[in-house]
Structure 1
Amino acid sequence: MYKMIAIDLDGTLLTDELTISPNTITAIQQAIEMGTVVTIATGRMFSSAKLIAQQVGIDAPLITYQGAMIKSVGAADVLYERAVSSSISQKLVELAFERDIHLQVYQDDILYGAAETDKLVAYAEAVQVPYAVEPDLIGLAQNGFTKLLFIDEPHVLDPLQQELEALFGESAYIAKSKKNYLEVTHPEANKGSALLFLANALGIDRSEIIGIGDNHNDSELLKQAGFGIAMGNAVQAVKDIADYTSLSNNDEGVRHAIDKFILEPQEGSEEHAQSGRKKL
């Protein structure tokens, strides 16, 4: 029934220790062998997502930067890219400096910070990517950014999100990817829009897609997929819009979903018929 499955990384495919179980890798490879297009849909930069794709044997184009970039693992060409405008980028850099909130930015698949802070170093180590220090982020912003990421405590980021949504309206897409991560991308750069673009390019209908995620930035992914699956550890807002809730990321929730809806199609079809919501 399903020809494509798009999987979030942090909190979904990856455990809390940022690992992937051998059983989950086997399930993904079996799905690919059956002809299913398996891709990643993540807020991470392409170079970080590519490492994980290579680890599990995924060679389909990857949805990265919250949907701001789609690029194939083995090709240099970018299939889809949407950048935050230079004016919004500059305003966000100024705001971060004024309020002393950590901000890191992405341009040409390079991670930049204004200084070598603990947050920047910890992030780069966690996702296994290098970083560059550029004190003049304002100058860098003249060419726009693929993504901007604020890192701070929820009591700082939650009101900031509301403020930015009021300030920029539909000129930017603003979403929490973790409780202490607030991400800003182009308004057309979300996982759902990118998913439909990729599916259309591959000749796959929306009804033939499964989307799996756990956090607020996965909402559009689940909404646009023909069948949306929330992880057991997902925030309630994501569970509320999902067709099915799987096990947690620490309990092989992705493997469970693939087994149920891809590798065991008869059981998956029955479950879908019983629990699926009507897609508009």
Structure 2
Amino acid sequence: MYRLLALDMDGTLLNKEHKISRENFEAIQEALRMDIKIVLASGRIFGGMLPYLEQLNIIDDENYSVSCAGGLVLNNTMSKVIQSNGLNIEDLKYIYGLTKELNLSLNVYTRDSILVFQDDIFSRFESIANNVPLKLVDFNSLSDDIEIYKITIINDSIDAVMKMKKFFKKLHTSDIIQDKRYKGIKRLEDDILDKISTKLSDKYTVVKPFQFTLEVINKSCNKWTGIKKIAEELGIQNEEIICIGDSENDEHMIRNAGLGVAMANGFSKVKEIADYVTYTNDQHGVAHVINKFILGKEIAYAEG
């Protein structure tokens, strides 16, 4: 019997409109009535998760979330932190130096804000997705005791700009596209990101949530370590956990859960390691898993 369901957000729980579909919502509510714990596990800061936690009605001391890809795990009233594994200013200086060499952009996640050193398309996306304003800062002005939970490295080529525009229609891109940094840029995204990932992977956990970004967090944590901490807090065993995700930052939790589920729209690598592949995020893949493995019923959903 399963007792905890951990859900990635973007590309998994949320559809292409970045909303929880009625089908997913209703299935989750039915699971909650059966005392199934619902845990959102995201690369977002907690503020970017909060509206969805409120919608699901799981804002209380006994429900938990994994934020910053596992860097910060806390209960949904933010009154109790059960995992806090961050990076320090020396880590940031080292990673910043590497990204500067390769002409890549970088965002820094603290507990409740995202610091950026440039105004680019991905920073704007992060601002909207995490429900925080862009906070442009001077790298040299940062305090030595800054608490960092995640660093995102971005290959902000013109190809990435256009992909982000397709992914998130609210983005304003006309001024970005005219920026001289993007004119004539022809990058092999995977080559560049793989190069820096190789340099960083010995010291940090490095995962790729999108084809043109890397997430860098403390070596000791990832989404699964956060979920496992929550499960231990609640007296839940690994085999009683279902984890659902779509991208590389979901790999650890999909590999280790009692039932690891990949979205049909997910990375090929993630689908290969999953125990089960559900429908896409626009076909209510989360609802399908809940119905099939928790509620014991088969329901066919139409897309949209």
TM-score (ref. length: structure 2): 0.81
Letter in 2 for 1:159: D
Deviation string 1:177-216 (CA, Å, 9 cap, x unpaired) is 0112211000122111111111111100000000000111
Q: Residues 176-195 of structure 1: matches in 2 within 5 Å?
A: 176-195=208-227
- 1:114: which partner in 2? 117
Q: Residues 31-42 of structure 1: matches in 2 within 5 Å?
A: 31-42=31-42
Counterparts of 1:82 and 1:10, CA distance in 2: 23
Structure 2 segments unaligned to the other structure (5+ residues): 161-186, 299-304
**Residues 70, 221 of structure 2: 8 Å contact kept:** yes
**Residues 90, 141 of structure 1: 8 Å contact kept:** no
Counterparts of 2:9 and 2:119, CA distance in 1: 26
Q: Residues 43-58 of structure 1: matches in 2 within 5 Å?
A: 43-58=43-58
1:44 partner SS: coil
- 1:255: which partner in 2? 287
Closer, same or farther: CA 137–162 of 1 in aligned 2, 3 Å = farther
Q: Cα distance, 1:114 vs. partner?
A: 1.4
**Residues 86, 149 of structure 2: 8 Å contact kept:** yes
RMSD between superposed Cα atoms in Å: 2.0
Letter in 1 for 2:152: L
- 2:77: which partner in 1? 74
- 2:261: which partner in 1? 229
Letter in 2 for 1:187: K
Q: Cα distance, 1:130 vs. partner?
A: 2.4
- Aligned pairs, how many? 266
- 2:200: which partner in 1? 168
Letter in 2 for 1:34: M
Q: Cα distance, 1:86 vs. partner?
A: 2.9
| More helix by percentage | 1
Counterparts of 1:141 and 1:219, CA distance in 2: 32
Matched, 1:15 2:15: yes
Runs of 4+ in 1 over 4 A off after TM superposition: 153-157
**Residues 42, 69 of structure 2: 8 Å contact kept:** yes
Closer, same or farther: CA 54–223 of 1 in aligned 2, 3 Å = same
Deviates more, 1:94-103 or 1:7-16: 94-103
Structure 1 segments unaligned to the other structure (5+ residues): 268-280
**Residues 150, 181 of structure 1: 8 Å contact kept:** yes
2:142 partner SS: helix
**Residues 190, 212 of structure 2: 8 Å contact kept:** no
- 2:150: which partner in 1? 147
